[in-house]
C-alpha cells in the first residue's frame, strides 16, 4: 500500500526546503489573519483599536513562539522519523552482531571489488585525455579489409594526398616514432622520440610552456633541425635551464636547436615521448607509397561528425586506390576517436572483468537478502506486535530498509579499504605484468567515491527491499499467537528465498565457467613453446644513427666487430645478433617474389624480415631443420642467401624441400637462394599465429638497428654493463638501450592472459565461497523446517526419508540454478572469445566440469544442515517455537 499522503507531504517538505521565504510569509500571514479576526471581535465588544489589538495579541500568547513551533513541526517529522528508525536499526543490529558483521564483511568485499574495477574502468575508459575537446581528436588509419588489418600505418604519399583532399579536419599531422640519441655534454642517452608534422600540437590543442612549436617551413628537408623537449627531459637532462630555447643540442649525431618545451601536465598517451622533431617527408619521401610507417592524427572541424569524416576518408581512399591500382589495392581508410586507440585492446578484458565483479556483488547481495529474509522470519512476532499497536506496513518496511541501508553504508565505508588496497595491488599487477599501454593513474578519486556511494545505495535496496516487503506482509493474529507452520505463514517468502538461491547458483555457475575457461587458456599458453630457449639469454639493443654511420658497410663493420668482441667475453657461452627480437612488439615485413611463380592475385606474398649474424640460431637454440644456417662466408660479395622458417617453407614450397629455391626480396633485383630452414619462433607472441619469416645475413642487408644476444654461462648480474663497455670500446659516444631478458619477453607476452586469469579467478573463488555460504542460508531454512521435520518423524518418517526430503529440495534448487547458469554462460562467454586461447567459448569439458563441481558443493551445502535436521529429536521439534 503506497501511502497517498506522499502526494501531499513530499511537495510540502520540498517546498519548505526550497521556498522558505514564501513559506515564512504564509505563516506570518496565517497567524496575522487570526490576530486580526480576534482584534475585530474585541473591537465589536467595544474596546478601542489599540486595546483590541493588545488584547488579541496577548491572548494569542506569543506569535513568534507559535511560529517557531510551527516551523518545528515541519523539521521534526523529517529528522525525527529518520532518527528513530536509525536508532532502532542500530539497536537491532547490535543484538545480532554476528549477522551484522558477516553482512557488512560480505558486502564490503563485493562493493570494494567493484569500486576497484570501476576505478580501472574510469581511468582507462571514462577519463578523457587532457586536451581541449579530446573527443574531436581522431586517428586515421589505413584499413585493409581483406587482410583483416583495420589499423595499418600510412605511407607518406597517401598521407600527403589525404591532407590535400580532405575538408573535414581543421588540422592533420603525421607521426613516426624514432628513438633519439642525445650526445655531447653528459652521458650519451637514448630517449623515446617522435617526428611529427608541424600541425601535430595543433591537433592536440596544446600550447608550449616555453618557446614555440614547429612551423611548416621546418618540415622541409635540409632546414635547420628543430627540437621540442618534454618537460621531464628539460628538467632531468638540462636542469630546467630557463635559457634553453635557442640552445643547440646534439641529436642522432646532428646539431639541433631547441625551440620549445612542453608543459608539465602534457600527456601523450602511447609512448613517453621525450623529444619531438619535425617530420621531413618532403622531397623524395613524398612519393613513397609502398612503405607504411606513419600514424596520422587529426582534429575534426567544429560541427563535423565522426561519421561524416569517415565517409569522406573512405571516398578519398577509394579514389587513391583507383589512381594507384597496384600499390593501393584494397587500401581503405578508417577514422577512429583517439581514445579508441588506448582502449581497443583491453576493452574485452575490461568487459569480462567488470561483469565478473558485478556478479560477485550480486551474489553477495543475494546472500544478504536471504539472511535478512531469515531474520525477518525470526522477528515475526516483533513485527506483528508493532503492527498491532498501529505501525503502518509502510513504516515497518521503511524501518527495515533503514537497517539494510545502515549495513550497506557501513559496508561501503568499510569497502574503501579493500578498494585502496585493490587499486594499488592492481596497479602493481599491471605494471609487473608488462602492460603495454601505459598504466593510467587510477586512484580513489571523486568518481570512485561517488561510485562507492551509489553501489552501496543500490545494494541496500537490493538486499533490503524484497525481504522487508515480504516479511511485513503477515497475518498478524496468527503470528502473535505463535501458531501455524512457517510455510503457511510465509509462502511468498519461501518463493523469494528459492528465487534468491537459484540466482546465486546461476551467477556462480557463470563465473566459474568463465574462470575455468581462462584457466585452461593459461595452461594452453604455458604449454606453447616459443621456438627458442631463453634461459640465461639476454640482449642489448644498439641503434646506430644514420648521421655518424651513413655508410651501410661501416655499420656492418661496427656490428661485426662488436659481435666478435662480445663472443670472446668471459662468461659468454655463445653470442649472436638480430635486428628485431622475438616478442618485442616490433616487426618488419616485405613482399617477396618467388621464382617461377606468378604472384597470387588476392593475397600478397609476404614474409617477415629479420637480419642476423651466424651465431644467432645457436645462441637462441633454434633448431635447424634442413640445409645450413647463416655463416661467416655469407658476405656482401658472395651469392645472396636467406634462411627461412618452417612456416614459410610449408606455405610457399609445400611437399618439396625449400632448400635451393629462390626468391626476391621486395624491390631488390638479385635472387636470393634459400640455404636452410629453421624451426618456427613465436615472433608475435605465444598466443599468436606464426607467420613466414626470412633471415638474411647482416653483411648482405645492412641495418642500423641491432640487438646483441648472448647466452651466459651463469647468471651474472653485470652482463649489461659488460656489453655496454664493449660497445663503448668501439665508440665511446654510442648510446645503448636497456638490457632485455629473453625469458621475460616470453612471459610478458602472455602477461595480459595472466592478469585476466588472476582477476576472474579471484572473483570466481570469492563467488564460490559466497555460494558455499548458501549453506548457512540453507541451515536457516531447514532450521525453520524443523517443526515439519519433527512432525514427519513422529508420523513415522525415518531418517533417510528426512535426508531425502532435505537433499531433494536442495538439489532441485541447485539444479535449476545450474541449468539457468549454463544457458546464461553459453550466451555470455562469447564476450570472452578474444581472451581465450586453445579452448572454445563453449568448451564442453569445462561446462561439464563446472557442473560437477557445483553439484558437489551444493549437495555438500545441503548435507550438513540435513544431518542436523536428521538428528532432531521429534519431541524437541514439536515443541519448537
Partner 1 sequence: MSKPADLVQGTLDLLLLKIVALEPLNGFAISVRLKQVSGDILQVSDGSLYPALHKLEQEGWITAEWRASENNRRAKYYSLTRRGGKQLEKEADNWNRLSAAISQVVRIKEA
Q: How far apart are CA 82 and CA 243, in angstroms?
A: 65
Q: How far apart are CA 876 and CA 794, in angstroms?
A: 11
Closest approach of partner 1 to the CB of residue 465, in Å: 23
Closest approach of partner 1 to the CB of residue 397, in Å: 17
Residue 388 as a binder of partner 1 (CB under 8 A): the answer is no
Smaller CB distance to partner 1: residue 31 or 409?
31
Residue 38 as a binder of partner 1 (CB under 8 A): the answer is yes
Closest approach of partner 1 to the CB of residue 433, in Å: 59
Site string for partner 1, 521-540 (x = CB under 8 A): --------------------
- 693-697 vs 624-627, strand pairing mode: unpaired
- The region of 65-73, 109-117, 152-160, 860-868 touching partner 1 under the rule CB under 8 A is 65-73
From 17, 22, 49, 70, residue interacting with partner 1 (rule: CB under 8 A):
70
Residue 62 as a binder of partner 1 (CB under 8 A): the answer is yes
Q: How far apart are the first and last CA of the chain?
A: 30
Cell representation of residue 186: 653528459
Residue 807 as a binder of partner 1 (CB under 8 A): the answer is no
Smaller CB distance to partner 1: residue 72 or 551?
72
**Owner of C-alpha cell 585525455:** 129
DSSP annotation of 638 reads S
How many other CB atoms are there within 10 angstroms of residue 796's CB atom?
A: 7
How many other CB atoms are there within 10 angstroms of residue 339's CB atom?
A: 20
**Owner of C-alpha cell 531433494:** 808
Residue 69 as a binder of partner 1 (CB under 8 A): the answer is yes
Closest approach of partner 1 to the CB of residue 17, in Å: 13
Smaller CB distance to partner 1: residue 59 or 264?
59
Closest approach of partner 1 to the CB of residue 358, in Å: 39
CB crowding 224-234: b at 16 or more within 10 Å, else e? ebbbbbbbebb
Smaller CB distance to partner 1: residue 32 or 827?
32
Q: How far apart are CA 655 and CA 650, in angstroms?
A: 7
Residue 428 as a binder of partner 1 (CB under 8 A): the answer is no
Closest approach of partner 1 to the CB of residue 757, in Å: 57
From 4, 284, 603, 689, residue interacting with partner 1 (rule: CB under 8 A):
4
**HSE on the CB side for 761, CA within 13 Å?**
13
Smaller CB distance to partner 1: residue 37 or 833?
37
Residue 444: exposed, middle, or buried by beta-carbon count in 10 A (0-12, 13-18, 19+)? middle
- The region of 33-41, 169-177, 730-738, 801-809 touching partner 1 under the rule CB under 8 A is 33-41
Smaller CB distance to partner 1: residue 35 or 444?
35
From 34, 393, 536, 664, residue interacting with partner 1 (rule: CB under 8 A):
34
Closest approach of partner 1 to the CB of residue 25, in Å: 11
Smaller CB distance to partner 1: residue 23 or 304?
23
Residue 688 as a binder of partner 1 (CB under 8 A): the answer is no
Cell representation of residue 823: 544457458
CA geometry: angle at 46 spanning 40 and 48, to 5°? 75
Q: How far apart are CA 127 and CA 781, in angstroms?
A: 46
Closest approach of partner 1 to the CB of residue 505, in Å: 44
Which candidate, 506, 507, 479, places its Cα nearest to that of 493?
Answer: 479
Residue 436 as a binder of partner 1 (CB under 8 A): the answer is no
CA geometry: angle at 269 spanning 268 and 271, to 5°? 80
CB crowding 711-722: b at 16 or more within 10 Å, else e? bbeeeeeebbeb
DSSP string, 782-833: HHHTHHHHHHHHHTT--HHHHHHHHHHHHHHHHHHHHHHHHHHHHHHGGGGG
The CA-atom distances, in angstroms, between 511 and each of 292, 360, 753, 765 are 43, 8, 17, 9
Residue 382 as a binder of partner 1 (CB under 8 A): the answer is no
Of 42-61, which residues contact partner 1 (CB under 8 A)?
A: 59-61
Smaller CB distance to partner 1: residue 39 or 712?
39
CB crowding 290-319: b at 16 or more within 10 Å, else e? eebebbbbbbbeeebeeeebbebbeebbee
Of 234-253, which residues contact partner 1 (CB under 8 A)?
A: none
Q: Is the alpha carbon torsion for 835, 840, 846, 848 positive or negative?
A: positive
Smaller CB distance to partner 1: residue 9 or 87?
9
Residue 394 as a binder of partner 1 (CB under 8 A): the answer is no
Closest approach of partner 1 to the CB of residue 487, in Å: 33
Residue 105: exposed, middle, or buried by beta-carbon count in 10 A (0-12, 13-18, 19+)? middle
Residue 15 as a binder of partner 1 (CB under 8 A): the answer is no
From 24, 72, 382, 715, residue interacting with partner 1 (rule: CB under 8 A):
72
Residue 808 as a binder of partner 1 (CB under 8 A): the answer is no
Residue 12 as a binder of partner 1 (CB under 8 A): the answer is yes
Residue 6 as a binder of partner 1 (CB under 8 A): the answer is yes
Residue 19 as a binder of partner 1 (CB under 8 A): the answer is no
Smaller CB distance to partner 1: residue 71 or 804?
71
The two most distant CA atoms of the chain are separated, in Å, by 136
Smaller CB distance to partner 1: residue 177 or 394?
394
Beta strands in 265-318 (DSSP E): 275-278, 295-300
Residue 398 as a binder of partner 1 (CB under 8 A): the answer is no
Residue 24 as a binder of partner 1 (CB under 8 A): the answer is no
Smaller CB distance to partner 1: residue 44 or 186?
44
Residue 279: exposed, middle, or buried by beta-carbon count in 10 A (0-12, 13-18, 19+)? buried
Residue 754 as a binder of partner 1 (CB under 8 A): the answer is no
Backbone φ and ψ for 258, nearest 5 degrees, come out as -75, 120
- The region of 8-16, 159-167, 372-380, 433-441 touching partner 1 under the rule CB under 8 A is 8-16
If binding means CB under 8 A, how many residues of this protein chain bind partner 1? 30
Residue 649: exposed, middle, or buried by beta-carbon count in 10 A (0-12, 13-18, 19+)? buried
From 29, 441, 483, 632, residue interacting with partner 1 (rule: CB under 8 A):
29
Cross-strand bridge partners of residue 467: none
Residue 284 as a binder of partner 1 (CB under 8 A): the answer is no
Which candidate, 461, 371, 457, 463, places its Cα nearest to that of 409?
Answer: 457
From 15, 53, 74, 651, residue interacting with partner 1 (rule: CB under 8 A):
74
Q: How far apart are CA 48 and CA 59, in angstroms?
A: 16
Helix or strand run (H / E) with residue 663? strand 662-665
Smaller CB distance to partner 1: residue 37 or 830?
37
Q: How far apart are CA 802 and CA 824, in angstroms?
A: 33
Smaller CB distance to partner 1: residue 45 or 133?
45
Q: How far apart are CA 509 and CA 841, in angstroms?
A: 14
Closest approach of partner 1 to the CB of residue 3, in Å: 7
Q: Is the alpha carbon torsion for 824, 830, 831, 832 positive or negative?
A: positive
Residue 717 as a binder of partner 1 (CB under 8 A): the answer is no
Q: How far apart are CA 683 and CA 579, in angstroms?
A: 13
Closest approach of partner 1 to the CB of residue 394, in Å: 11
Closest approach of partner 1 to the CB of residue 48, in Å: 20
Closest approach of partner 1 to the CB of residue 22, in Å: 11
- The region of 30-38, 127-135, 517-525, 861-869 touching partner 1 under the rule CB under 8 A is 30-38
The answer to whether 699 and 634 have CB atoms below 8 angstroms apart is: yes
From 18, 33, 79, 421, residue interacting with partner 1 (rule: CB under 8 A):
33
| Site residues, partner 1 (CB under 8 A) | 3-6, 8-9, 12-13, 26, 29-31, 33-34, 36-38, 59-62, 65-66, 69-70, 72-74, 77, 390
Amino acid at each position: 500500500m503506497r501511502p497517498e499522503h506522499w502526494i501531499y507531504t513530499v511537495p510540502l517538505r520540498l517546498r519548505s526546503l526550497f521556498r522558505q521565504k514564501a513559506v515564512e510569509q504564509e505563516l506570518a500571514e496565517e497567524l496575522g489573519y487570526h490576530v486580526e479576526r480576534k482584534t475585530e471581535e474585541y473591537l465589536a465588544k467595544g474596546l478601542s483599536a489599540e486595546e483590541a489589538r493588545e488584547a488579541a495579541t496577548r491572548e494569542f500568547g506569543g506569535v513568534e513562539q507559535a511560529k517557531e513551533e510551527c516551523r518545528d513541526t515541519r523539521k521534526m517529522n523529517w529528522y525525527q522519523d529518520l532518527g528513530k528508525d536509525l536508532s532502532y536499526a542500530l539497536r537491532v543490529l547490535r543484538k545480532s552482531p554476528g549477522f551484522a558483521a558477516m553482512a557488512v564483511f560480505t558486502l564490503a568485499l563485493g562493493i570494494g571489488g567493484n569500486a576497484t574495477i570501476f576505478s580501472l574502468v574510469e581511468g582507462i575508459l571514462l577519463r578523457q585525455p587532457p586536451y581541449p575537446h579530446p573527443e574531436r581528436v581522431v586517428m586515421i588509419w589505413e584499413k585493409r579489409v581483406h587482410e583483416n588489418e583495420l589499423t595499418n600505418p600510412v605511407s607518406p604519399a597517401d598521407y600527403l594526398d589525404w591532407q590535400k583532399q580532405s575538408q573535414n579536419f581543421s588540422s592533420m599531422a603525421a607521426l613516426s616514432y624514432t628513438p633519439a640519441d642525445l650526445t655531447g655534454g653528459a652521458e650519451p642517452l637514448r630517449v623515446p622520440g617522435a617526428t611529427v608534422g608541424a600541425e601535430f600540437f595543433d591537433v592536440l590543442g596544446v600550447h608550449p610552456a616555453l618557446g614555440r612549436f614547429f612551423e611548416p617551413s621546418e618540415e622541409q628537408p635540409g632546414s635547420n633541425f628543430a627540437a621540442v623537449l618534454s618537460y621531464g627531459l628539460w628538467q632531468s637532462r638540462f636542469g630546467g635551464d630557463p635559457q634553453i630555447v635557442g640552445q643547440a643540442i646534439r641529436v642522432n649525431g646532428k646539431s639541433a636547436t631547441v625551440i620549445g618545451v612542453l608543459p608539465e601536465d602534457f600527456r601523450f598517451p602511447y609512448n613517453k615521448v621525450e623529444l619531438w622533431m619535425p617530420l621531413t617527408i618532403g622531397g623524395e619521401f613524398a612519393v613513397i607509397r609502398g612503405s607504411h610507417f606513419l600514424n596520422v592524427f587529426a582534429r575534426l572541424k567544429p560541427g563535423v561528425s565522426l561519421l561524416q569524416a569517415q565517409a569522406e576518408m573512405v571516398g578519398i581512399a577509394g579514389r587513391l586506390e583507383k589512381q594507384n591500382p597496384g600499390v593501393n589495392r584494397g587500401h581503405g581508410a578508417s577514422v577512429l576517436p583517439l581514445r579508441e586507440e588506448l582502449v581497443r585492446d583491453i576493452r574485452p578484458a575490461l568487459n569480462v572483468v567488470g561483469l565478473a565483479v558485478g556478479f560477485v556483488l550480486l551474489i553477495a547481495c543475494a546472500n544478504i537478502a536471504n539472511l535478512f529474509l531469515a531474520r525477518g522470519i525470526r522477528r515475526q512476532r516483533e513485527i506483528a506486535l508493532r503492527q498491532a499497536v498501529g505501525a503502518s506496513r509502510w513504516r515497518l518496511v521503511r524501518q527495515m530498509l533503514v537497517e539494510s541501508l545502515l549495513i550497506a553504508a557501513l559496508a561501503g565505508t568499510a569497502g574503501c579499504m579493500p578498494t585502496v588496497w585493490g587499486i594499488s595491488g592492481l596497479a602493481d599487477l599491471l605494471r609487473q605484468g608488462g602492460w603495454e599501454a601505459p598504466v593510467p593513474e587510477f586512484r580513489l578519486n571523486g568518481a570512485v567515491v561517488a561510485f562507492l556511494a551509489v553501489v552501496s545505495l543500490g545494494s541496500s535496496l537490493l538486499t533490503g527491499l524484497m525481504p522487508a516487503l515480504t516479511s511485513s506482509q503477515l497475518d498478524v493474529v496468527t503470528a502473535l499467537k505463535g501458531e501455524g507452520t512457517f510455510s503457511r505463514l510465509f509462502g511468498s517468502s519461501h518463493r523469494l528465498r528459492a528465487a534468491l538461491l537459484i540466482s546465486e547458483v546461476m551467477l556462480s555457475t557463470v563465473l566459474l565457467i568463465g574462470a575455468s575457461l581462462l584457466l585452461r587458456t593459461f595452461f594452453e599458453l604455458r604449454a606453447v613453446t616459443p621456438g627458442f630457449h631463453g634461459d640465461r639469454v639476454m640482449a642489448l639493443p644498439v641503434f646506430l644513427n644514420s648521421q655518424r654511420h651513413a655508410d651501410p658497410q661501416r655499420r656492418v663493420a661496427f656490428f661485426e666487430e662488436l659481435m666478435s668482441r662480445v663472443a670472446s667475453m668471459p662468461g659468454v657461452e655463445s653470442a649472436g645478433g638480430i635486428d628485431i627480437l622475438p616478442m618485442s612488439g616490433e616487426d618488419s615485413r616485405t613482399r617477396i617474389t618467388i621464382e617461377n611463380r606468378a604472384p597470387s592475385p588476392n593475397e600478397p606474398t609476404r614474409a617477415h624480415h629479420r637480419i642476423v649474424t651466424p651465431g644467432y640460431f645457436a645462441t637462441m637454440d633454434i633448431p635447424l631443420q634442413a640445409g645450413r644456417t647463416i655463416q661467416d662466408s655469407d658476405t656482401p660479395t658472395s651469392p645472396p642467401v636467406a634462411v627461412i622458417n618452417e612456416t614459410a617453407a610449408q606455405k610457399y614450397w609445400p611437399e618439396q624441400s625449400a632448400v635451393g629455391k629462390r626468391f626476391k626480396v621486395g624491390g631488390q633485383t638479385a635472387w636470393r637462394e634459400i640455404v636452410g630452414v629453421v624451426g618456427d619462433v613465436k615472433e608475435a607472441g605465444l598466443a599468436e599465429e606464426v607467420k613466414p619469416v626470412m633471415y638474411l645475413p647482416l653483411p648482405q642487408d645492412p641495418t642500423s638497428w641491432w640487438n646483441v644476444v648472448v647466452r651466459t654461462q651463469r647468471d651474472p648480474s653485470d652482463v649489461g654493463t659488460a656489453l655496454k663497455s664493449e660497445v663503448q670500446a668501439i665508440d665511446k659516444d654510442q648510446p645503448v638501450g636497456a638490457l632485455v631478458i629473453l625469458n621475460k619477453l616470453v612471459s610478458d607476452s602472455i602477461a595480459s592472459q595472466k592478469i585476466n586469469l588472476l582477476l576472474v579467478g579471484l572473483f570466481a573463488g570469492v563467488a564460490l565461497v559466497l555460494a558455499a555460504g548458501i549453506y548457512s542460508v540453507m541451515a536457516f531454512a531447514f532450521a525453520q523446517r524443523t517443526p515439519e521435520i519433527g512432525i514427519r518423524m513422529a508420523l513415522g518418517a525415518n531418517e533417510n526419508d528426512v535426508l531425502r526430503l532435505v537433499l531433494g529440495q536442495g538439489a532441485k534448487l541447485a539444479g535449476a540454478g545450474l541449468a539457468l547458469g549454463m544457458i546464461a554462460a553459453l550466451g555470455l562467454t562469447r564476450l570472452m572469445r578474444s581472451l581465450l586461447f586453445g579452448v572454445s567459448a563453449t568448451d564442453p569439458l569445462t561446462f561439464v566440469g563446472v557442473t560437477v563441481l557445483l553439484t558437489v558443493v551444493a549437495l555438500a551445502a545441503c548435507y550438513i544442515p540435513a544431518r542436523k535436521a536428521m538428528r532432531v529429536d521429534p519431541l524437541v521439534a514439536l515443541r519448537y517455537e
